[in-house]
Structure 1
């Protein structure tokens, strides 16, 4: 990422990278100072290369130079972006272990959305069983997971979707 943004910044006429860099002194100061790494994970994406975007106004999509997607045959939820991919959680946790010297990890958000009218929570139950099983598998791989929090204990107002999708461990249709 650092190399890519620096190269694109140069092509865009900047005298230095748009991505700030830590000084060696700052790196030394913060090295080893975290108590744990918090991870939010709901789903997984696949990524494919795309033709190199032209130089224009800097933006996230040009900077990453890839396209994220989810195969159509992956199990769905009430949210179009949330597919059920438990193996992705295990891969993510192992990547963190291998990349960052196996820090203590607290999974701070993980959850499944159900349509507000669906009172049969089998999808949610299955999701949590499979995701927690993948977390356990990662722990057996040596990943240092020390905590887990589902999103959320009770249903919540879901940003743009309002009360049309239930994310809580407990959510009932209230007629809203």
Structure 2
């Protein structure tokens, strides 16, 4: 990324990269100061190279130099950009371990949206089961995962989608002045996981 943006910046007539760079002093000051790496993980993409775009106005997509896409046969969700790819969790956790010298990792966001039409969110239950299974597999691979946060506890305001996409384990009635909260099926599942560390219906003691 740094190399591509620097090269394109010079070709665009800038006297330095458009991407700000740390000084040697700043690098020395912050090196090794983090306590853990935080990972937001929802879905996966496939990536392929694209033909180099002629130099012109700076553009984020041109800087990328790649095209990302999702396979049509991956299971979709209420959020069009979130397709169920639990295998991606294990892959990215192992990549982080190898790339960043085995850091402690907290998965800070991981979840699935529904459209609010039912409390029986069986797809979300499968999502958590399969993603957490891949977290466990990554830990068995030696990845140092020290925490996990399901996103999210309750439905909330979701960026450009507002209240139309619901990531919560609890359904929030936004038409009620009290914002009444009702547990979805995923609440009982996630509660069991937290209490027993068991991802499936029954586990051996």
Distance 1:35 1:110 in 2: 20
Give the unaligned 5+ runs of structure 2. 177-205
Asked if structure 1 preserves the Cα contact closer than 8 Å seen for 2:79 and 2:165, the reply is yes
Distance 2:175 2:119 in 1: 12
Asked if structure 1 preserves the Cα contact closer than 8 Å seen for 2:154 and 2:172, the reply is no
TM-score by length of 1: 0.94
Asked if structure 2 preserves the Cα contact closer than 8 Å seen for 1:110 and 1:151, the reply is yes
Q: Bigger shift: 158-167 or 130-139? A: 158-167
Give the unaligned 5+ runs of structure 1. none
Whether 1:80 aligns to 2:80 is: yes
Q: Which residue of 2 aligns with 1:13?
A: 13
Q: How many residues align?
A: 176
Aligned-pair CA distance for 1:60: 1.0
* Structure 1 residues 174 and 18, CA gap change in structure 2 (3 angstroms): closer
Aligned-pair CA distance for 1:160: 1.8
Q: Which residue of 2 aligns with 1:116?
A: 116
Q: Which residue of 2 aligns with 1:24?
A: 24
Q: Which residue of 1 aligns with 2:39?
A: 39
Q: Bigger shift: 12-21 or 90-99? A: 12-21
Whether 1:61 aligns to 2:58 is: no
Distance 2:161 2:44 in 1: 20
Where in structure 1 do 4 or more consecutive aligned residues deviate above 3 Å?
A: 172-176
TM-score by length of 2: 0.82
Greater CA radius of gyration, 1 or 2?
2
